[in-house]
Structure formats: structure tokens, C-alpha cells
Amino acid sequence: MSETIKIPVSDIPEAEAYLVPGDENSTGEDISVFHAEDGSFYALNDECTHEVASLADGWIEGTEVECPMHAARFCLKSGKALCLPATVDAKTHKVEVEGDTVVLYPGVPATDAE
């Protein structure tokens, strides 16, 4: 398993995202950790699968994020592309909350969570 990244919960306000650059995680790709409106945390590869745009700059509503460029939406839980123009799902990463810390497992799909 890859190394974990620990982020203070206070660094990710509700309905916001925290960007973990690719050179700081084991995947080489930027990862966004999202604080959904339901209080949960999720992580997806940051780049929209439709065109180069940062999902961290998008809008979070419920457990979805909308790309700021062309309004493609993705499910934060599964990474599923929910509408056009995106047709390819976003890659998920496992996250856990331990006390006041969000623990990101870069490269471990969220579906592998126990």
C-alpha cells in the first residue's frame, strides 16, 4: 500500500476541496479531497475526465462535484460521471477520518474501503 497523506479536518471547510499535488502523493496525479455537504470526505483525481480542468475549483452540491469548465458532474462517492460532456468516470481514492484528521490513501480505490 502507498503512503498515507494526513490533512487536518479544519483545512477542508464544508463544500470545499483540498488539492494534494501529484508530486506529494504516490500516484503522480493531483488528487482533490472533498468535504461534502453531508459532512463526509471523498477523494477523486483532480482533473476532469472530459477536459483539463481542476475539480477542486468546481462546485460541490450534496455528494456531487460540478466541473468549473463545462458543468460535467461527478459522484464524489463512486467517481461516476453523471452527465455530459463527461463520459469517463473519475478515479476515486480511499479516505478515512481519524479524530480531527482526514487520512488519504493515494492509489487505493474508495471501493476497497472496508
Q: How far is CA 9 from the centre of its chain?
A: 14
- Is the separation of the CB atoms in 99 and 106 below 8 Å? no
The confidence score (pLDDT) of residue 108 equals 95
Please report where in the chains the cell 452540491 appears, as a residue: 61
Per-residue pLDDT of the chain (114 residues; tens, 9 = 90+): 468 999 999 999 999 999 999 999 989 999 999 999 989 999 999 999 999 999 999 999 999 999 999 999 999 999 999 999 999 999 999 999 999 999 999 999 997 543
Q: How far apart are CA 59 and CA 107, in angstroms?
A: 24
Please report where in the chains the cell 501529484 appears, as a residue: 22
